[in-house]
Structure formats: C-alpha cells, structure tokens
Amino acid sequence: MTTAFVTIIAFLVTVGVLVVVHEYGHYLAARLMGVKILRFSVGFGKTLWKRELGPDRTEWVLAAIPLGGYVKMLDEREVDVPAHEIPRAFNQKSVAARIFIVLAGPAANFLLAFVLYWALFIAGMPGIKPVLGDALPNTAAAQAGFKSGDTVRAIGDEPVYTWIDVRWYLLKEAVRRGTVTVQVEGPDGSSRGVRSLDLGGLTADDLDQDFLVKLGLRPYQPQVSATIGRVVKGGAAERAGLREGDRIVGIDGRKVDTWIAFTTEVRASAGKTLRLEVERGAHRFELTAVPEAVGEGAARAGRLGVEAGPELKREYDRMTTTVRYGPVESATRAVAKVWDLSVFSLKMLGRMIVGDVSWKNLSGPITIADYAGQSAQLGWISFLGFLALVSVSLGVLNLLPIPLLDGGHLVYYLAEIAKGSPVSERTMEIGQRVGIAVLLGLTFFAFYNDLNRLFFG
C-alpha cells in the first residue's frame, strides 16, 4: 500500500473511532436519562448513508465531511414536541441530568484512552534505551557535563526507561523554563551522579521543533560501517547495481565511515546523482545512484531502497527495550498517563494564551492525518498510542469553556444553578456567536500551522 493510502485510511479510522466513542458517550447518557434521540451522525454535511433503528426510529447517519459528529436530541427549543413526548425532551430534564449527558462525551474519550494505555502497558511499549551520544558543543547538555555512553535513569523524580520518556519529561519541564535534575549512569553501570540541565535558554518556538537538539541531547549512534543488507527490488539501489554485502566507503569523493553518515548523505540528496565508492569483497570501484524523493516540503528526503547489514541490526537490537507491567500496575499507570496528558494539555493552552508557548503547537486535521499515517506504518502499538493521545486531546478540547463545545454548555448549566433559572436565549445567542468566532479563529491557526509544516517544515 502507498504511503498516501495508508495515511488516508489511518486518518479516517482515527476520526471515526474518536467521534463514535465521543458521541456514543452522549447517546448512552441521554438514553439513561430518558431523552429521546432523533439522530446519531458521524460526520457533517451531505448524508451518505442512513438507517432508522429502534422504537424511536433514531436516524443513524454517515455524512460526507469526516471531521466530527453529533447526537441530536428531542428539544422544545428546536422542534415542536408533541405533548406526550415533552417529558422526553432534553430541555425538560434537570440541570444535573443535562450536565451528566454533556460530560459523558469527553468522559468516553478519557475512558477510551485509559483502556488503550492499559492494554499497551500490558502488551509492552517498545523503545530505544536512553543512552546519550556526544553532547552538542556550546549547549546546555555540554555545560551540564553529559558524556557519550551515559544512560539517563531519572528526570526529576520520574524514572526513565526509553527515549520517549526522556522527551516527555523534559517537555513538561521545558514549559516552565527552569533547571531540572537528571540522574545518569555510566557505560559500565557505575553511577555518575546527577546533572543539572538548564532549560532557561529554550524559546517559545523551540518547543514546536526538536527541542532536544537545542538542548544538545541526542541518542547514541552505533559506529558501524555502511554495509548494505537487503536491497529493495526495483529500488534506486538495485538500478544502480548495489548488492547485499556491499560496503559504502565514500560519496562524491568524501570518506564515509558509518551507516549513519551514509544515510544522512542519501536523505539530503533526493533526486541528485551520487558517486558512490563501493567495496565488494577485495574489489573497490565506483558507481552512480540517484536517491528517489519521498515526502513533501521540508519532509522531502532521498531514499535508495536498502536496509542495513546485520552488524547495525545487532547494535539496534542491543539498544532497544520493551517496557511492560502487570494488569493492576498497568491500570494505575494508565490513569496517571491520562491525567498527566490532560493537565499538560491545559497548561500548554494556558501558556499559548499568555505567549510563553508558540501557537505553532496548535495542530489541525492535516497534521493529525500525517501523524496517523506515520504511526500506522510503524505498527499497531504506535497507532494505538497515537489514538489514545488524540482521544485525550479531544476530551480536553471539548471541556474548554467555549460556547458550542461541551464545556460551553457546562458554563450555561452552572450559571443556571447559580441564578436559579436557565440563561436567557439572548445570552445563548451571543455566546453562540462568540463560540463560532473563537472556533473559526482556532481552525484558522490550526490549518495555517498544518500548511506551514507541510510546505516549510
């Protein structure tokens, strides 16, 4: 399957699952409260498929625009309700019942994320061991004294097992721009103590990029030769005459010592003719190859269509680990993960509002589709992890106190409790206009950031 096809399918699955889970939360809560459901729609716009099911003839709809959904309930403010069905109207229910129905959507997203993380923690989360390469010169990592071969064991009070942990815990600390303690262990297993890493030099824009590079931290790269493993049939390497077991020792007259140096050069040379110096057994000769261009914009990279030889694979096997827990501990960690992500999302949003974090961190459907496709190609564990992350984000987004979102409705109901009567229709009308303006503004920023990433990285 092509990358574009996988991306489209992964995006549709992501949106479909998240929308169905969110709206089904509203649907179940409304049914429990005795509210009549008129329509359950996945998507907006033109109806592509419709079925009427159940004693209430509820319409189950699949619509053309797959960017959301809704549950339409019987409501006197929207339609004429027969006298015998008035008790089943949403607006006739108590404030507590309406709050329960509104909260059920985001709660369903948080529950989905919990279940996914629980399953992933039991199955095992693969990752790269947090072993450091040489700290980049004149960076915070170099000043802190990190050395090549150090293994990160803890950041602050949090234990670290993979590079994903390193990135996550440092990102949380980076938002505060303070100094964080990092516990490291030497290559021979001997403790090297604690390093103090200054995050104060990070800017708002740095958090939208690979901020670990700005800090000077990078993973250890195995120093193995550029020996070719499997050659992809029909790829640029096969057309150029490369074979399994060939060793690349030079490119365009420049010496190549490692596989990393070789692949870095290839990725930077999409569509360009490269003069490769090849060692095959006792013979050394030259041939030319043109890396195929894959990706778009700043993500465009060259690809020859080769895999690494067994030496590099052995090194990477040695550098990988799988972190798993028992069912009970996995449940505890899943709850903590969902809570952690939710709080962090709110903190990031707050810092965006005050300008401490760039609005470039706001992503729209194009970026979500891109990440969905990438995670799907990495395997089901990566895709389920991505699905859980977006589910938390959707739950948090819907709880924001913006009219038209679930959080906006909660504000109306809390105001109703405070004043003893429902808010006026005029107030709701103004709120609706404000909500539309805010959501359109957020949508504009998200699409702008998506297009900026797509074409300019």
We report the CATH number of the domain holding residue 196 as 2.30.42.10
Question: Are 199 and 267 found together in one domain?
Answer: no
Q: What size, in residues, is the chain?
A: 457
pLDDT at 99: 94
pLDDT at 372: 86
C-alpha triplet 428, 430, 431: angle, nearest 5°: 60
Lowest-pLDDT choice from 48-62, 67-81, 363-377: 363-377
Most confident of 120-129, 178-187, 204-213, 219-228: 120-129
Question: Are 261 and 384 found together in one domain?
Answer: no
Whether 58 maps to a domain, the answer reads no
Summarize the chain as % helix, strand, coil (round to 5): 50, 20, 25
Most confident of 37-41, 145-149, 166-170: 37-41
* Pair of tokens at residue 290: 């043109």
- Contact predicate 164/127, CB 8 Å: yes
Question: Are 253 and 135 found together in one domain?
Answer: no
Structural domain that includes position 377: 96-124+326-457
Q: Of the residues 163, 187, 220, which one is the last residue of a structural domain?
A: 220
* Phi, then psi, of 44 in degrees rounded to 5: -120, 170
When pLDDT is averaged across residues 372-401 and rounded to a whole number, the result is 90
C-alpha triplet 296, 297, 300: angle, nearest 5°: 55
Beta pairing, strands 254-255 & 226-231: unpaired
Whether 264 maps to a domain, the answer reads yes
Give residues with Cβ within 8 angstroms of 280, minimum separation 6: 243, 245, 246, 247
Q: What is the total count of domains within the chain?
A: 3
Q: Of the residues 187, 220, 253, which one is the last residue of a structural domain?
A: 220
When pLDDT is averaged across residues 145-154 and rounded to a whole number, the result is 87
Distances in Å between the Cα of 18 and the Cα atoms of 56, 107, 385 are: 25, 12, 13
Distance, in Å, from the CA atom of 182 to the CA atom of 160, rounded to the nearest integer, reads 10
Question: Are 197 and 254 found together in one domain?
Answer: no
Whether 46 maps to a domain, the answer reads no
Distance, in Å, from the CA atom of 251 to the CA atom of 118, rounded to the nearest integer, reads 47
Give burial (CB, 10 Å; 0-12/13-18/19+) of 296.
exposed
Beta pairing, strands 274-280 & 247-251: antiparallel
Whether 232 maps to a domain, the answer reads yes
When pLDDT is averaged across residues 318-338 and rounded to a whole number, the result is 92
Distance, in Å, from the CA atom of 18 to the CA atom of 11, rounded to the nearest integer, reads 11
When pLDDT is averaged across residues 383-393 and rounded to a whole number, the result is 93
Distance, in Å, from the CA atom of 423 to the CA atom of 414, rounded to the nearest integer, reads 10
The pTM of this model reads 0.82
Catalytic residue among 23, 173, 185, 265: 23
pLDDT beyond 70 at 301: yes
pLDDT beyond 70 at 296: no
Query: With helix as H, strand as E and coil as C, how does 61-99 read?
Result: EEEEEEEEEEEEECCCCCCCCCHHHHHHCHHHCCHHHHH
Distances in Å between the Cα of 62 and the Cα atoms of 35, 37, 390 are: 22, 16, 22
Question: Are 330 and 377 found together in one domain?
Answer: yes
Question: pLDDT by residue (tens digit) across 194-241?
Answer: 888 888 888 777 776 778 888 888 888 878 888 888 888 888 888 989
Share of the chain above pLDDT 90, in %: 31
pLDDT at 297: 58
Q: What is the DSSP string of 374-403?
A: HHHHH-HHHHHHHHHHHHHHHHHHHTSS-T
Distance, in Å, from the CA atom of 152 to the CA atom of 172, rounded to the nearest integer, reads 16
Whether 15 maps to a domain, the answer reads no
Whether 17 maps to a domain, the answer reads no
Question: Are 111 and 184 found together in one domain?
Answer: no
Q: Is 244 a catalytic residue?
A: no
Identify the helix (H) or strand (E) that includes residue 106.
helix 95-123
Sorting pLDDT into bands at 50, 70 and 90, what band is 299? low
- Contact predicate 68/44, CB 8 Å: yes
Give burial (CB, 10 Å; 0-12/13-18/19+) of 379.
exposed
Q: Of the residues 277, 309, 341, which one is the last residue of a structural domain?
A: 309
Question: Are 234 and 283 found together in one domain?
Answer: yes
Beta pairing, strands 301-303 & 254-255: unpaired
Sorting pLDDT into bands at 50, 70 and 90, what band is 378? confident
